[in-house]
Amino acid sequence: MIGDMQRIQYVDRLKGLAMLTIVFGHCEVIGHLTDGPYYLTDFSKFAHLPLFMFMSGFMVSTIPDKKKIIVKLAQFLCPFFFVGYAFTIYLNCSFVDFFSDLWKHGYWYLFALTELYILLMPLRYNKKDNKYKQFASDIFYFFVIYIALYICRYHISEPLQNIIGIPHLYAYWFIFFAGFLCKRYGLANYMEHNNWVFSIALVYSIAIRLFSTINIIPKLPMFAMDLVLLYFFMKREKANTMVDNQLAFIGKNSIDVYIFHYFFVANLHLKLFGDFFTQSGNYLLEGIFVFILTLIIVYLSILIGTILRKSEWIKNIVYGKFIS
């Protein structure tokens, strides 16, 4: 059984992988690298945000109480407001534009994650006398929230939905809660010693990618892919290669990468390169080019965060560390 301290390694590595694919995809799309199908971002679109949401739920060790929610509110909403609004000013937009935009100019994830944590709170008051009744109760609660979000999705005005972020909550409640359940009921530990779970998830993921028409449960492939990646990184827990260490390093600094990479990506104008890659069909070269660019942006973002954290005032206010 993998110990708690060791688990942090594979969690950080998965977060690092997710963050790399996020920046990679943003370099391609926001940087206008190509106007055609984003062949190289197909996997990242399939895996990056679902993986990050899955790991966010997976890292919930206990259902948050009021004190923990306040801490999480500070840690998520402080960078959301301070850095997100700074980026909004950089884009020459107003605070109203920032908050009324569904995507919050890219910073929606922190806002949505705050809301998802809050949605877990009622589970503290839903305790059963055995794990089977508890699991059934948790599943029932999942569907209650999912149906409520579905109703909101189609019966609330679009401007209000954008402010609250209902489409994001509806899209990612499943995968976030799946990660939470995996940790709560020890599926990761079970899967580590029972390869059949991994095998089914892998075969299903491949089949869905090859035969998309058989996908009758839209969000299930995301979960299957996340289980595959979780298993793979758990098995590499004791690995000490440069790649593993750098993924862990990026994962530990994922908040810096997320909040600062937009400032770099917003200045990318790569259409000329995109036209060349599209006309030549050299997608391997395009992949190498974007990957190098991604690494530069990722490490520059971490550097900025490291410098800013030297100031206790900035660390407390911008990163919400004034509450612990």
What pLDDT tens digit does each residue of the chain (324 aa) get?
334 444 479 999 999 999 999 998 888 777 666 554 455 555 555 556 788 899 999 999 888 888 888 999 999 999 999 999 999 999 999 999 999 999 999 999 999 999 999 999 999 888 888 888 999 999 999 999 999 999 999 999 999 999 999 999 999 999 999 999 999 999 988 988 888 999 999 998 888 777 765 556 677 888 888 999 999 999 999 899 999 999 999 999 999 999 999 999 998 888 778 778 778 777 788 888 889 999 999 999 999 999 999 999 999 999 999 886
Q: Is residue 253 part of a domain?
A: yes
Q: Is residue 266 part of a domain?
A: yes
Provide the pLDDT for residue 3.
41
Q: What is the pTM of this model?
A: 0.90
When divided into structural domains, the chain yields a total of 1
Q: Is residue 83 part of a domain?
A: yes
Q: Is residue 324 part of a domain?
A: no
How far is residue 46's CA from residue 87's CA, in Å, rounded to a whole number?
A: 27
Q: Is residue 207 part of a domain?
A: yes
Residue-number span of the structural domain to which 281 is assigned: 4-318
Q: Is residue 96 part of a domain?
A: yes
- Given a contact cutoff of 8 angstroms between Cβ atoms, the answer to whether 307 and 65 are in contact is no
Cα–Cα distances (Å) from 209 to 163, 222, 260, 316, in that order, read 34, 11, 32, 44
- Given a contact cutoff of 8 angstroms between Cβ atoms, the answer to whether 198 and 68 are in contact is no
Q: Is residue 323 part of a domain?
A: no
Q: Is residue 298 part of a domain?
A: yes
